[in-house]
C-alpha cells in the first residue's frame, strides 16, 4: 500500500471536508510557481451526467521546493494511473492531506 502524505494537521478542523477523486476526474496535473512556494495543481471536472454546464476547478497541494512538487506530482500520477483512488481533505481549494485507497472496481475478483 502506498504511503499517506501527512501535513501534520490535527483533525478535525472546522471547514475541512473530504472528497474522493480518481483519474477520470483529473484532466491535468500541473506544477505552479509562487513567490514563496510551489503548488501541484489538479484541474478537476465532474464527469457525465454531473458535468452539465459545469466548469473545471483547480485543487492544489502546497510544497516548499520544486523537487518536492515534482515527486508529489509523479507519485500521484503513477498511483492514479494504476487504479488507486485519491481521498483528499480540503480547506477551500487547498489539499491539506491525501491518502491512496484501492478502487472497488479493481478489487473485484475475476470471473
Confidence band (pLDDT; 50, 70, 90) for 103?
Answer: low
d(CA 9, CA 96) in angstroms, rounded, equals 8
Confidence band (pLDDT; 50, 70, 90) for 27?
Answer: confident
Residue spans per domain, the chain: 17-103
The domain 17-103 having CATH identifier 1.10.287: the answer here is no
**Whole-number pLDDT of residue 52:** 67
| More reliable by pLDDT, 21 or 105 | 21
This prediction has a pTM of 0.72
Judged against a pLDDT cut of 70, whether residue 26 lies above it is answered with yes
**Whole-number pLDDT of residue 8:** 41
Amino acid at each position: 500500500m502506498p504511503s499517506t502524505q501527512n501535513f501534520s494537521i490535527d483533525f478535525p478542523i472546522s471547514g475541512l471536508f473530504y472528497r474522493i477523486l480518481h483519474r477520470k476526474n483529473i484532466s491535468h496535473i500541473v506544477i505552479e510557481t509562487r513567490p514563496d512556494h510551489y503548488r501541484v495543481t489538479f484541474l478537476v471536472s465532474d464527469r457525465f451526467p454531473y458535468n452539465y454546464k459545469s466548469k473545471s476547478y483547480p485543487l492544489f497541494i502546497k510544497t516548499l521546493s520544486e523537487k518536492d512538487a515534482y515527486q508529489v506530482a509523479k507519485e500521484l500520477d503513477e498511483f492514479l494511473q494504476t487504479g488507486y483512488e485519491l481521498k483528499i481533505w480540503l480547506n477551500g481549494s487547498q489539499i491539506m492531506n491525501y491518502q491512496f485507497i484501492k478502487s472497488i472496481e479493481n478489487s473485484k475478483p475475476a470471473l
